[in-house]
Amino acid sequence: MDRNSVGQVTPKKFTFAQKGDPMVLESGRTLGPVDIVYETYGEPDDTRSNAVLICHALSGDAHAAGYHDVHDKRTGWWDTMIGPGKAFDTRKFWVICSNIIGGCKGSTGPSSINPETGEPYGLDFPIITIGDMVDTQKRLIDHLGISRLHAIVGGSMGGFQVLEWSLRYPEMVRSAISIAFCARLSAQGIAFNAVGRSAITSDPNWQNGHYYGEPGPQQGLAVARMIGHITYLSEFLMDSKFGRRLQSADRLSYDFSSEFAVESYLNHKGSTFTERFDANSYLYITKAMDYFDISRAYGPLAEAFAKATARYLFVTYSTDWLFPTEQSREIVRAMLSTGRDVSFVEIESGYGHDAFLIEVEKLDRILSSFLCGIVERDPTGESDERFVCQ
């Protein structure tokens, strides 16, 4: 066990929007009650001003660090970044990670019971947006008695939530860190998501979303995940990791088995994903990603960020072709044009989009420096001395 681990943690649940007071979503539809599952690491300081909110990506969950049970083989998904002495140093920060609505990891989603029918929502679950995810997090942050977050951070779709937070609730965000992200999906990004959804909805076991208690569209979900995985890895990484290597033979098999190592890898990734993820959640979350568009909601980028007050840090990866650096540069340029406080780092990495989960050493250094810098430079004077870096 990593001696800098946060140790054993227990997920908590916060429920709001109870009967008679549902949450109104961006679509105009309502949802309630809403459960939010979350975890916390470290402790709040006296004024609860040391909170850091971690926003997870498509298939993530609230379990960002530590372990639930001493027998767990895997730690939380960003355990490398959260703990004593790590970037999100739990000796300084009160780190919170909550699970998005629409998912299948405890927060309310399409597999939750619809109180109106007593059955799982399925496709009766309303379409949700990144803004709706942020609104639920806001309710949780209020509930935890936090008036301003020291930092909000997230990679990929987590980075979308960070941007949305900083524009929707600017007064609550001291610093915003988006990693491997964009301000809106390109046509190609939408295309990949759309094909993934087609794979699911064309699986006859999908049954228009009402498959709970039955096998479900596992094959379609596996194909969707395989498509996603291609976009998460760089071409460089795929070539160096797999190349044209055969999985278990020297000679071509002349049949349709998954004989190339890269085929076998993708098949494995696809099938294991179906054991831990709900196909309807995949539909809802990718749709939320497609809808995310800073400019549609807040106007042209320069105008959108003119109202923002957070200190921003943007981190991209040189071989991320899903959300290429150039898309982030566009946001940086727009922000600089109106004098926003933004730092920008492109990390040289061969790992593609997934680098933020894999290549953590450089990221750790950058985030540590940035989080310290915030405290030292914080013009509000709210800083707790304990934050100042050694």
Chain positions contacting its own copies, by CB under 8 A: 27-29, 123, 126-127, 184-188, 190-192, 194-195, 197-199, 201-204, 219-220, 222-223, 226-227, 230, 235, 238-239, 241-244, 252, 254-256, 258, 260, 262-263, 266-267, 270, 283, 287, 290-291, 293, 296
In angstroms, what is the minimal distance from the CB of 345 to its own copies? 23
Which residue is catalytic, options 56, 63, 150, 353?
353
Which string of b and e fits 143-153 if b means at least 16 CB within 10 Å?
Answer: ebebebbbbbb
Residue among 14 and 212 whose Cβ is closer to its own copies = 212
Helix (H) or strand (E) holding 268: helix 261-276
In angstroms, what is the minimal distance from the CB of 99 to its own copies? 22
Which residue is catalytic, options 156, 166, 328, 383?
156
Name the nearest CA neighbour of 208 among 124, 119, 298: 124
* CA 184 – CA 190 distance, rounded (Å): 10
Question: CA 319, 283, 205: angle at the middle one, nearest 5?
Answer: 120
Residue among 41 and 298 whose Cβ is closer to its own copies = 298
258 is catalytic: no
268 is catalytic: no
In angstroms, what is the minimal distance from the CB of 324 to its own copies? 9
Give the contacts of 289 (CB within 8 A, at least 6 positions apart).
Answer: 58, 130, 157, 160, 185, 189, 193
Residue among 261 and 358 whose Cβ is closer to its own copies = 261
Backbone phi, psi, residue 299, to 5°: 90, 180
In angstroms, what is the minimal distance from the CB of 327 to its own copies? 10
Give the contacts of 263 (CB within 8 A, at least 6 positions apart).
Answer: 247
Tell me which residue has tokens 């995949």: 282
In angstroms, what is the minimal distance from the CB of 166 to its own copies? 21
Whether 129 contacts 152, CB under 8 Å: no
Residue among 12 and 329 whose Cβ is closer to its own copies = 329
135 is catalytic: no
* CA 306 – CA 166 distance, rounded (Å): 11
Residue among 191 and 389 whose Cβ is closer to its own copies = 191
Query: Which residues are part of the catalytic machinery?
Result: 156, 320, 353
